[in-house]
Chain A
Amino acid sequence: MSQPQNPAAWGTPSRAIIARLRGVHKSYGPVRVLDLPELDLYAGQVVGVVGENGAGKSTLMGTLAGSVTRDGGEIEIDGKPLAAGSTQAAQELGVALVSQEFPLVGQLSVAENLLLGRRPRVSKRRVLIDRKAQRAEAAAMLEEIGVSSREVQVTRQVRTLPVPARQLIEIAKGWGREPKLLILDEPTSSLGPVEAALVLGLARRLADQGGTVLFIGHRLDEVAEVSDRIIVLRNGKLVADLDRSEVTEDRLIREMVGSEIAHSEPKAADPNSPVLLTLRGLTAAGLGPVDLEVRAGEILGIAGLMGSGRSRLVHTVAGAQPSTGGTMELAGEPYAPRNMGSGAAAGIALIPEDRKEQSLVLFAPIKDNVTVGILRRISSHGLLGPRRRRQEGQRIAESVHVRMQSVDQPIGSLSGGNQQRAIFGRAFASDPRLLLLDEPTRGVDVGAKAEIYELIDRAAAQGTAVLAASSELEELLWICNRIAVMNHGRVVEVLDRSEATKERIMTAAAGTADSAAVTNGAAT
């Protein structure tokens, strides 16, 4: 299946090899997770890397960046041998990794994070910190990747920033090292379309300057768009090495999973089904006023750029964030949640955006993670024995087909897709009338995504109303009956599935605040 490498066919300006890998392999226990007899990365190229979770993408990046110690094989960066398992050695040779993990210090400011471990290049002071210079250089670093200091203020504490902003900081950090080989690990998975476009532009820019970019992505259209060459990993092996001209999304998916995914169009929602959720002039910090209706059995998508209020809307309905005005109705009854408890009592389940931070106790067993929202319900008179916990955990995990060895294993040992399925199982276990989703497939690979979509369909088919906020337009177009587009905290357009296109959504999402207010027809 692997094709011979033919650099000439890519029409690269320079054929210099930036990274040369020979016989690189790595095993965890008995499982060989990476096995690459031969791989060369050429200067001036963006190389896309795709593969399912566990295919070896992260291991490949890790071996190059030094965070994973390879078991054997040689790596040369620009002709110089790279010692195994040293991030410092990798950095010195010009390898920069932008990971999904955001190794940022939350308590420090954006500027301090960007210049972590070094002083400003132009510093007036020798011993003390020249904060002015630090701020200026940090702002310049952000400016360099196209982020204005108004969007991300360098004096802000990093922990107060939303996830997408942290991702941009992380990218600016990697970019600032002036790398020869820049490794981007799903850099756009937490970004909205505009920021994603910015990152893709950066990858292109570095390649045009003669560097090499290794671009790991989940969104295949994006990878296909930005890459000169795409390599596909499956079970730790390179199964396809494609020139951009031979790439189609279907082909990539086929190579990744070794089979085809069944397509299914979302059915139109029954227009006669009762309205379950009604929002009238709902406001909260950074949100609204919002008017919206969701019917039972309907999947309503929420699109919008970073900071448009997608998450805030979902959180306000759930009761996780206080509303400041307007009214909500659930199945005709007034609904005013004081906290998540009242939301849950009213039959609302929320699947938040960040699995690790907001959903799971990673070191705790699967059974405890999937039962955490329904502990009270599965107890009898407040008592809850270990057998019952295990049984319920097993039942829930199996209801959503979590692939595991046992419900006693820590949930952190599962792949991202499996973790997400377990979270869905937990939400379903409370029999919600309204299911709120925030980035339902973030950090989940293609195959697992299709399965998550089936779970969402299943909920809707059983009459649950679904409100799904997502930064991935394809996803929304794929699963939703209607899509509400948000801009500056307001819903500026609601599109039926038949009329929704990427372009229309983007236009509405990227409009200015003034036009948003006009379209919304709401004053102030």
Chain B
Amino acid sequence: MSFQPAFQQGGPQPPDAAEAAPRGRSRLGRLLIETPEAGVVTVCVLIFILISVNAPTFHSVGNLQVVGRDLGQKGILAVGESLVILTGGIDLSVGALAGFAGIIAAWFNVSHGMPAPLAILLTIVLCGVIGFWHGTIVTRLNVPPFVITLVTYTVTIGAALAITSGTPISGTDPLFQDLSAYYVGQIPVPALIFVAAVVLAWFVLERTYVGRQIYAVGGNKEAARLAAIPVRRRITSVYVASSVLAGIVGILTVGRESGTADPSVGTSGWELVAIAAAVVGGVSLFGGEGRIVGIAAGAILLEIISNGLLALHVNQFDLQMVQGGVLGVAILLDSWRARYVGRDRT
């Protein structure tokens, strides 16, 4: 094909002009503005340094191990939550489901004398089934994900209470504690599981065609459908992943509480932390946007803020207020950034 030169030029187009927008800035400045992840990672490092300088205990090995174990809870939930949000959905059940998973695994183990490995496996399978249920209801009946996962949230919190009558289940198999208390080198196992979840999610999203299809589904469902992508299957799979990760977190939690499954775990509001981590990490709540590096950094950021504030001896009654304030500032900065680059996104 050969077109005449006049066509090749095509005239000046406003969007092309916007493309060249941030001129005369340093490379670093541009990187910060154009990639959401770079911002979170930088803030993460800055806050880490800031707190370390002011509270020497913060970067002691012991405290960092605490941070690592916390990441083995909320961080893992954030990974699963982000997968769901990437498809344009939301999973409100992750915190409650984690609590429920801990109870049910302990219950299998203690009340039914099931061997610990079997109890754990069964619990995770059960969580997978619940995720499959979410995905099926969302894709087949078009029930908003907010609603169906809210149902699970309520039911699982209730079930945890019903099973235990409100009393924690103690005396679980030592395996539970081992999972949470063991170290590889100096690193606690839950932190390693967090890293594994991040790496796995990164691999699937960035290195497999299924991952790219998940982005396409989140970016434009109708376009994905017309491009012959199995939209329902992709959506269902992220709900399964989210619930399975919640199950894993639940089991880690039992070990952390010295082998005791506490029915109040599900009401700790972890789902909100997970959602916040995703948003801070650059995931768009409308779907299709956000990368795993940012999500992991978002989770780490929230964790070091809450842990760091304790290390700084912030009055514990003021803690949540300060946490919320920091979160607000982070989100404002991000929307400022989005507005700066958002011009070519019409």
Q: Does A389 contact B (CB under 8 A)?
A: yes
- Nearest opposing residue in chain B for A414, CB measure: B15
Q: Does B230 contact A (CB under 8 A)?
A: yes
Assess the B209–A376 pair: CB atoms within 8 A. Answer: yes
Q: Does A245 contact B (CB under 8 A)?
A: no
Q: Does B16 contact A (CB under 8 A)?
A: yes
Take A31-B16, A259-B6 as given contacts and tell me if A412 and B345 are in contact as well, using a CB distance cutoff of 8 Å: yes
User: How would residues 207 to 222 of chain B score, 1 for a CB under 8 Å from any chain A CB and 0 otherwise?
Assistant: 1111111011001101
Q: Which of A36-71 contact B (CB under 8 A)?
A: 52-55, 59
Assess the A412–B344 pair: CB atoms within 8 A. Answer: yes
Assess the B6–A383 pair: CB atoms within 8 A. Answer: no
- Nearest opposing residue in chain A for B23, CB measure: A29
Take A33-B17, A364-B219, A410-B345 as given contacts and tell me if A54 and B12 are in contact as well, using a CB distance cutoff of 8 Å: yes
Shortest CB-to-CB span from B234 to chain A, Å, is 11
With beta carbons under 8 angstroms apart, the residue of B10, B18, B228 that contacts A54 is: B10
Take A368-B215, A410-B344, A412-B15 as given contacts and tell me if A361 and B226 are in contact as well, using a CB distance cutoff of 8 Å: no
Q: Which residues of A contact B211 (CB under 8 A)?
A: 384
- Nearest opposing residue in chain B for A30, CB measure: B17
Assess the B226–A29 pair: CB atoms within 8 A. Answer: no
Q: With the chains together, A443 CA to B16 CA distance in Å?
A: 19
User: How would residues 311 to 348 of chain A score, 1 for a CB under 8 Å from any chain B CB and 0 otherwise?
Assistant: 00000001010000000000000000001110111000
Q: Does B339 contact A (CB under 8 A)?
A: no
Q: Which of B11, B14, B224, B346 gathers most chain A CB within 10 Å? A: B11
Tally A-B pairs: CB < 8 A.
Answer: 161
- Nearest opposing residue in chain A for B229, CB measure: A372
Assess the B209–A384 pair: CB atoms within 8 A. Answer: yes
Assess the B18–A29 pair: CB atoms within 8 A. Answer: yes
Q: Which residues of B contact A359 (CB under 8 A)?
A: 220, 223, 226
Shortest CB-to-CB span from B346 to chain A, Å, is 5
The segment from A150-158, A350-358, A497-505 that touches chain B is A350-358
User: How would residues 422 to 454 of chain A score, 1 for a CB under 8 Å from any chain B CB and 0 otherwise?
Assistant: 000010000000000000000000010001001
With beta carbons under 8 angstroms apart, the residue of A258, A320, A451 that contacts B225 is: A320
With beta carbons under 8 angstroms apart, the residue of A29, A375, A426 that contacts B212 is: A375
Assess the A415–B288 pair: CB atoms within 8 A. Answer: no
Number of interface residues of B (CB under 8 A): 44
- Nearest opposing residue in chain A for B344, CB measure: A413
With beta carbons under 8 angstroms apart, the residue of A350, A362, A382, A412 that contacts B226 is: A350
Q: Does B13 contact A (CB under 8 A)?
A: yes
With beta carbons under 8 angstroms apart, the residue of B1, B206, B344, B346 that contacts A386 is: B206
The segment from A87-95, A140-148, A401-409 that touches chain B is A401-409
Q: Does B289 contact A (CB under 8 A)?
A: yes
- Nearest opposing residue in chain B for A345, CB measure: B228
Q: With the chains together, A470 CA to B208 CA distance in Å?
A: 37
Take A320-B226, A360-B220 as given contacts and tell me if A389 and B212 are in contact as well, using a CB distance cutoff of 8 Å: yes
Shortest CB-to-CB span from B283 to chain A, Å, is 13
Assess the B3–A401 pair: CB atoms within 8 A. Answer: yes
Q: With the chains together, A155 CA to B319 CA distance in Å?
A: 52
Shortest CB-to-CB span from A460 to chain B, Å, is 14
Take A30-B20, A235-B12, A320-B226 as given contacts and tell me if A412 and B212 are in contact as well, using a CB distance cutoff of 8 Å: no
Q: Does B8 contact A (CB under 8 A)?
A: yes
Q: With the chains together, A413 CA to B342 CA distance in Å?
A: 11
Q: With the chains together, A391 CA to B145 CA distance in Å?
A: 36
Assess the A372–B227 pair: CB atoms within 8 A. Answer: yes
Q: Which residues of A contact B288 (CB under 8 A)?
A: 361, 363-364
Assess the B222–A357 pair: CB atoms within 8 A. Answer: yes
Q: With the chains together, A451 CA to B10 CA distance in Å?
A: 12
Q: Which residues of A contact B19 (CB under 8 A)?
A: 405, 409, 413
Q: Which residues of A contact B (CB under 8 A)?
A: 27-33, 52-55, 59, 234-236, 257-259, 262, 318, 320, 339-341, 343-345, 350, 352, 357-364, 368, 371-373, 375-376, 378-379, 382-386, 389, 401, 403, 405, 409-410, 412-415, 417-418, 426, 447, 451, 454, 458
In addition to A235-B12, A383-B207, A415-B10, 6 A-B residue pairs with Cβ atoms within 8 Å of each other are: A340-B227, A361-B288, A373-B228, A375-B229, A386-B206, A451-B7
A-B pairs, top 4 by smallest CB distance, nearest first, are A361-B219, A344-B228, A29-B17, A28-B17
